[in-house]
Amino acid sequence: MAAQDPKSLYLTNDPSIEVLLRRSARARRYTLRVSQLDGRVTLTLPARASLQDGIAFINDKADWITTQVAGQGEQTVIAVGNDVPFEGRAHHLCLSDTHKSVQVGAGEMFLPQRHQDRAAPAVKAFLKQAARDRLAAACDHYADQIGRQVGRITLRDTRSRWGSCTHRGDLMFSWRLIMAPPAVLRYVAAHEVAHLIEMNHSPDFWAIVAELCPNYQAHRAWLRQHGAQLHRVVFPD
């Protein structure tokens, strides 16, 4: 991005919508993108393009941007009294005098009173640990089936992918998978474990995935249809 460029702009007709600016040497024209994961709006400009022309382009497309952002759906804010998505189901977050840690019951998630002022961070920590436990177990299970060993498992809040595998056998996953149905989480684990044999997406790779997770196509479809919702769950500090 040129030195004089701001990092972002706001729509004139809707100051609540921020447009991120990005210059690219490969870009030949102005392009707008609204992320399906988090609703972020990005304008890509050619390296030598006029910023003022870019601003005019944004204003000309303002109605389109507003419509696209509105279609992304509302955010789910984690707070006492709201629902928390966990393993594919909504759990009502309520305070508890008897629980010493975050616990899940039938349609409810219990938050200890001592965490009342830090509800979102406490729930986030619980979800991350649950994701680590489920993913580690699933990866070990699938790796045993193909006679391979899993390296290090790390969790991140990735927006572009649900998982990845390195040539060393280290696996990375989005911890937000714990909010998806368990079968979907296990599919992503199987997908990445399959890369321990095939570091590609060839027919041989998908044959391994099908062996580990016969109904994988349904779980891929779930992520395509509902995955963006997982990124609209926000955890205020």
DSSP designation for 176: G
Q: In the structure, what pLDDT confidence band is assigned to residue 182 with cuts at 50, 70 and 90?
A: very high
Examine the domain organization and report whether 66 and 93 are in the same domain.
Answer: no
Rounded-to-integer distance, Cα 79 and Cα 124, Å? 11
Q: Between 120 and 11, whose confidence is greater? A: 120
Nearest to 226 by CA among 18, 53, 36: 36
Give tens-digit pLDDT for 67-90.
Answer: 887 766 678 899 999 999 999 999
Q: Between 85 and 12, whose confidence is greater? A: 85
pLDDT at 2 over 60: no
Query: What residue numbers bound the domain in which 57 lies?
Result: 8-70
DSSP of 130-170, one letter per residue?
HHHHHHHHHHHHHHHHHT-----EEEE--SS-SEEE-TTS-
Which region among 58-67, 130-139, 172-181 has the lowest average model confidence (pLDDT)? 58-67
Examine the domain organization and report whether 94 and 211 are in the same domain.
Answer: yes
Percent of the chain with pLDDT over 90: 71
Examine the domain organization and report whether 109 and 36 are in the same domain.
Answer: no
Nearest to 213 by CA among 159, 163, 139: 139
pLDDT at 128 over 90: yes
Provide the pLDDT for residue 206.
98
Q: In the structure, what pLDDT confidence band is assigned to residue 3 with cuts at 50, 70 and 90?
A: low
Provide the pLDDT for residue 221.
96
In Å, what is the CA distance from 70 to each residue of 14, 63, 74, 90?
12, 11, 8, 23
pLDDT at 95 over 80: yes
**Residues in contact with 147: Cβ distance below 8 Å, sequence separation at least 6, in sequence order:** none
Examine the domain organization and report whether 55 and 111 are in the same domain.
Answer: no
The answer to the question of residue 149 being in a domain is yes
Q: In the structure, what pLDDT confidence band is assigned to residue 233 with cuts at 50, 70 and 90?
A: very high
Prediction pTM value: 0.74
The answer to the question of residue 33 being in a domain is yes
> How many domains is the chain built from?
2
Q: What is the mean pLDDT of the chain?
A: 92
Provide the pLDDT for residue 98.
93
Examine the domain organization and report whether 94 and 184 are in the same domain.
Answer: yes
Give tens-digit pLDDT for 22-65.
Answer: 999 888 999 998 876 567 899 999 998 999 999 999 989 988 88
Sign of CA dihedral 170, 209, 134, 160: positive
| CATH number of the domain enclosing 218 | 3.30.2010.10
Rounded-to-integer distance, Cα 19 and Cα 34, Å? 9
Looking at 44, 70, 96, the residue that finishes a domain is: 70
Provide the pLDDT for residue 232.
87
The answer to the question of residue 176 being in a domain is yes
Torsion of CA 210, 212, 213, 214, to 10 degrees: 50
pLDDT at 17 over 60: yes
pLDDT at 1 over 60: no
**Residues in contact with 45: Cβ distance below 8 Å, sequence separation at least 6, in sequence order:** 21, 22, 23, 24, 27, 30, 51, 54
Which region among 32-41, 120-129, 150-159, 181-190 has the lowest average model confidence (pLDDT)? 32-41
The answer to the question of residue 78 being in a domain is no
